[in-house]
Structure formats: C-alpha cells, structure tokens
Chains A and B, each alone.
Chain A
Amino acid sequence: MECVVQGIIETPHVEALEILLQGLCGVHKERLRIHELCLKSAPNLGVVASEVRLLCDLEQPEPTWTVRHVGGAMRGAGAEQISVLVRTMVESKVSKNVLRLFYALGYKLDYEQLRVGFAFHFQRGAQITVTVSSINKMLKMHATDEAMPVTPGIQLVEVTAPASSENYTEVAASVSSFCEYLAPLLHLSKPGVSTGVVPTAAAAAASLMSEGGGTTL
C-alpha cells in the first residue's frame, strides 16, 4: 500500500520549491528521468481488463526496470476522512526484457510518457518521497530523446509514502503534516481532485528565493 497526494506548480516557482524541500528534508535531491510505459491487457485476456506500468529509470548508468501495479483506492467512511489517498501498490524490479515478456503475455502499449525532474527521499514519521517532474509525451514510439511537455509551464508534484493496513493512518498523518509546510507554494490533494495552483505561490516563491532557503526546520 501507499499514501499519495498530488499537486501542480508553475515552472518558474519550481526552484523555490526545491530550496524549500532542501531545507525541510536536509538531504540532496536526486535527478529523475523515468520512461513510463502503461500497458493494458488484450480485450479477451483476464477476469477483468487489467493495467500494469513498466518504469525504466534512465538516470542510472545502465537503465533499470521496475513493474508497478497500482490498485484501487481504499474506500469507506474512514478513507473519506483522511486527506490523502490510500491505495494498493506493488512493485518488482525486473530484468530489461520485461516489455517483451508482457507483450508475449498479451499486453498492449496503451500510452508512454517521460517524467523529468527531481526527487527527495527522507524519513519524517514515514519514508516520504517527493517528486517534482514535468510529464512529456513521445512524438515517436519510445523516442525519449524527442519528448515534448504535455503541460508546458506546469509541473506535477507528488508526495508518496509506503504504508501497510496496520499503519496507514499514521503514515497518512505524517504525509498530511508534511504537506502543510509546502502550502504557501502549492496545494496537495488526492489524485483526481484537482485544486490548481495557489494564489500565494508567486509571493511565497519570491520570499524563499530572497532568503536563499537553507533553513532546516
């Protein structure tokens, strides 16, 4: 399982967000360049239609591959009350021929995208990962070198943390409280619940840039 919230930020304020995150986390950012392939099962395969994501980490000297399955979000009164989305998520690192395997099993490429940006991994009540990235589409199949931004000028911010059925309330609380620190720059909410950019972003960014960041909380 994982807890997740998302938000968007205008590209000119990304540098300020980076300074803020750096100060909050006390760790260095990692560059992010991930080729994501979303596959769907052939129409007559499986009990129900299924979807699986293959992630190729292009930042590594030798690209590494991961299979990710994102399941349905947790529902019910308990889930409604918390401000982060809790969903099942399973990952497995795999050898590089994974695309060939899934094609052979009857999966087809639905869409592919390239995420470029940076990430922070740190411990704050939970093992939190913040990614800030622009989503790019490929003009030609698998041509990651010729990718174009899907939403120019806007970047996606995602905060995730692994959780289990025993501890998700605590993890969700840790994620929520961390998100409050980012509130002047962006608003984070459950995926699919778009809240847009925040009006205070420009002022907050300007203030952060002039302070030069660096303050660790």
Chain B
Amino acid sequence: MTIKWVLHWQPNAGTTVNSQILNEVSQCVESINGVKEGRWKATLTFYKPIVRDQAPTTEFPREFLGISLPEQPNKYYFVIRGQKIVLEAEQTIQTIMEKLQSYKTRVALNFEGFQYQLGDFQLRVGKVVPMHSENLRGIVMEMEYLPISSLDKSRQIMEEFFDIWQEALSKRSLPGHFMHTEPNFAEFGLPDNYTSQHTAVQYTTIMAQVIATAQAVQAVRN
C-alpha cells in the first residue's frame, strides 16, 4: 500500500472551522490542477467501557476507536491510543463487540468529501461531521503518493509537496493551516512499509487534535 499523510485543519486562535474554509480548500486543490474523481468516506466510532459497580476506570481504557476506511472496505480497525495498540479485523468484529456487551459505541464521526488526482498524488479533502448531523467539527486532508510505500523513502517528497500545497493555500489568507503530526508508528509495532493500520493510527492522532482544538475554542468562549 502506498504512503499517505493524514492532515487536519488547525484554525487560528479564536477562530473555528466553517464550510467556507472547506470550499476554499477544495477550490485550491482544483486551482493547482487537481482532477475531481469521486467521493470518499471514513467512519470513526468511539467505544466506551460499560462498567458495573463504578469500578476504578484505570482497569480499562476510558475509550478506544473503531475505524472503517474506504481503502479497505471489508476491514475494520481498533486503536487503543494510550496502549499503542492497533488491530486489523474484519467488519464482523463490530457484531462481536455488540454481542459481548462490554463496550458500547458512543459518538460516531464521518470523514467525507471528494478525491482528487494530481499527477502521482491523490488528495482527499473532507469534512468531519457527527453521524446524522451536518455540524462541522473539522476538516481533514489525505495526501497520498502513489509510487512509494516506504515512510522513510517518501518523507522528502511528501514534505516538498506539503510545502507547495501550503504555499498555494496561503494565497487565500484563510484563518488557519493544515498540520501534519506523524505518530510514532514504531510504538504501535508498525513497520516502515505503509499499511492501512498506519492510516488508522493517523486518524486516531488527528482525532485527538480535533478534540483538543474544539476544547481550546470552548475554553476561550467560556
């Protein structure tokens, strides 16, 4: 599988994301000759433990994530961020978790938008919205480089492309910028060769960032 960076939109202090920014970002991809190819959608679900007798919660993770990715429609991923575990399973693992009745699903977020082709790069721009809602929570972007699957070997070209992209976007004077936070994949036991498990870990990382940003905005408002 080829290398991919998952980026998230970091709004400037005191500002929030809105659909106007998403439109501008999409227009920007088209302005650098990105060819629109179709829609994509990933889903991220929070699982929380069902605890009897109000036991101390240190015994179980407070939450973990279930992720479904368009690149692997038959697979499902679990990530426990605190313990650096990523599991690849089949979609049926969701039914097993339901039957066990030990963890319940809480919020589910959709990451959805359009896919663009740009030479050897594939870009996906999307909004982060809770399931059954249009309430925009964030903006994400996937940047995939099709010829290479090694993280190390692709780093330079990814950085260069990211710089070009940032520069193109900066002309629009939007109140924020895209951020790339590369998780420590080795801590999750993942190799240099890119897999969909890497994607799942990246989504978990940006989810933490989106939540932190939302909380910071909330704190400023209060």
Contact = CB atoms under 8 A, between A and B. Distances in A.
Interface in B82-108: 83, 85-93, 95-96, 99-103
A82 interface: no
A104 B51 contact: no
Give the size range of B's interface with the partner.
Answer: 20 to 34
Nearest to B95: A90
Interface in A73-121: 88, 90-95, 97-98, 100-101, 104-107
Contacts of A42: 59-60
B52 interface: yes
B14 interface: no
B85 A104 contact: yes
Contacts, number: 94
A50 interface: yes
A42 B53 CA distance: 12
A41 interface: yes
Contacts of B102: 41, 45-47, 50, 105-107
Contacts of A92: 76, 89-93, 96
Nearest to A107: B102
A4 B87 CA distance: 30
Contacts of A45: 49-52, 55, 59-60, 102
Contact of B100 (A41, A43, A91, A94): A41
B189 interface: yes
Contacts of A69: 95-96, 99-100
B76 to A, nearest CB: 8
B68 interface: no
B94 to A, nearest CB: 9
A198 interface: no
A106 B63 CA distance: 12
